[in-house]
Amino acid sequence: MKLIKFVLFSLSLFFSYYTYALNSGECTYSNQKLTYSGVNLPSSNDVYKDGEVLGQLILSTNYSCKTNSITNNSVVLQVGTRGAGNSHISAKRYNSNVAGIVLEAKFTVAQAASFSNEVIFKQFKKPQYSNNQNVSGTFNQPLFDVIKSGEISNATSVTLNLQNPFRLVSFIYNTATTGGVYFSPTNVPDTAPIPVYNASCSVTHPTNVQVPALVKGIRDEVSSYFNIVLNCVDKSVMQNNVQLTVTPVNMTNVTMTGDKTTLVFNDRNQMVLMNIFNSVNSTEAMMQFSTMYPFSNSSQGSSFTIPMRAKFQLGSSSGYGNFSFQTQVAVRYN
């Protein structure tokens, strides 16, 4: 007879885990990113003027912090950039990594733990926060305005950031490192690719308009019809409207009436009046000189035509001879 013995083993498993304890004044971060919010970037033209805001760079990151044991004028912790100062131009302006674009800080620019020209975007203050308090959450706020500063290079897309890399830093004093200074281990990454479109356009219109002779009592009035045409490579250039301004130049022997609707040529006892009209949307309307007129580009096309008429009429004088009017046509589109 065989005896089969069953031996039971008792196995005890012990699990342990380690929780990282934050130091006073320390922050940790996750999912750091920059996001661009604004218009697609135009290249090859001045569809947007230098100095215009194109959009914003939004910083988002999850954070876990422990406020400092030190209180600095009611502040128990500050969070800002480290390295932005290496891209600083002046005041709140910074160089970006894309030619033709500068960045302007939306928050205070100051020293951060003795580092100059950094952007301080968060302060934890008493009484809302206390010393040595654990806090966590998400930063998600515009950090920079994106400003056109010149011609943006022609490309399909660009990724945007400061000219030089930057990290995040937590600290208590602006001008000193007392109380601890803690940096994020990685740089804040560039944005996702931002579309760039070709904004080059051309305007065609006659440079000289000749009119038949005006003869008192026979042909007191004549008109000349012509078109002002805007052609763009990309139809998104004219996604909103087109603006036209006709301004008189070289006013020798020419005056403009007070209501700006008429130019008056007066020389050698000869008086000729000039008016201009547009017939966008098939309805003719008299225009004022030196006045901007917006036209809706409802068709969303890449070409826009403004039908024009220039009317010339004899005035009260009886002289004869040559006359001329010079005007400058300005077309803007956005």
pLDDT given at position 5: 36
Please indicate, yes or no, if residue 41 is contained in any of the structural domains.
yes
**Rounded Cα distance, 201 and 47, in Å:** 9
Please indicate, yes or no, if residue 1 is contained in any of the structural domains.
no
Of the residues 198, 220, 237, which one is the last residue of a structural domain? 198
- Residue 210 sits in the same domain as residue 115: no
Q: What is the DSSP letter of 162?
A: B
For each of the chain's 334 residues, which pLDDT tens digit applies?
333 333 333 334 333 334 469 999 999 999 999 999 998 898 876 667 899 999 999 999 999 999 999 999 999 999 999 999 999 999 999 999 999 999 999 999 999 999 999 999 999 999 999 999 999 999 999 999 999 999 887 788 999 999 999 999 999 999 999 999 999 999 999 999 999 988 778 889 998 888 888 888 888 999 999 999 998 887 766 666 789 999 999 889 999 999 999 999 998 888 999 999 999 988 999 999 999 999 887 766 788 899 999 999 998 876 777 888 999 999 887 6
Of the residues 198, 217, 252, which one is the last residue of a structural domain? 198
Q: How many of the other CB atoms lie within 10 Å of CB of 227?
A: 11
- Residue 188 sits in the same domain as residue 43: yes
**Rounded Cα distance, 2 and 163, in Å:** 83
Q: Which CA distances in Å does 85 have to 111, 163, 315? A: 9, 10, 67
- Residue 186 sits in the same domain as residue 238: no
pTM for the full predicted model:
0.67
**Rounded Cα distance, 1 and 13, in Å:** 38
Please indicate, yes or no, if residue 122 is contained in any of the structural domains.
yes
Of the residues 183, 198, 213, which one is the last residue of a structural domain? 198
**Rounded Cα distance, 140 and 247, in Å:** 47
pLDDT given at position 10: 38
- Residue 67 sits in the same domain as residue 173: yes
pLDDT given at position 212: 81
Please indicate, yes or no, if residue 15 is contained in any of the structural domains.
no
Please indicate, yes or no, if residue 166 is contained in any of the structural domains.
yes
- Residue 194 sits in the same domain as residue 269: no
- Residue 174 sits in the same domain as residue 41: yes
Beta strand pairing call for 41-43 and 254-256: unpaired
Please indicate, yes or no, if residue 9 is contained in any of the structural domains.
no
Domain containing 286 — which CATH number? 2.60.40.1090
- Residue 289 sits in the same domain as residue 320: yes
Please indicate, yes or no, if residue 285 is contained in any of the structural domains.
yes
Plot region of 137 (φ>0 → left; ψ -120 to 50 → alpha; else → beta):
left
**Rounded Cα distance, 275 and 99, in Å:** 44
- Residue 210 sits in the same domain as residue 275: yes
Please indicate, yes or no, if residue 229 is contained in any of the structural domains.
yes
pLDDT given at position 98: 96
Query: Is the link from the previous residue into 127 a cis peptide, with omega within 30 of 0?
Result: yes
The number of distinct structural domains making up the chain is 2
Over 34-67, what HEC string results? Answer: EEEEECCEEECCCCCCCCCEEEEEEEEEEEEEEC
- Residue 236 sits in the same domain as residue 170: no
List the Cα angle 124/128/133 in 5-degree steps.
65
Range of the domain at 242: 201-333
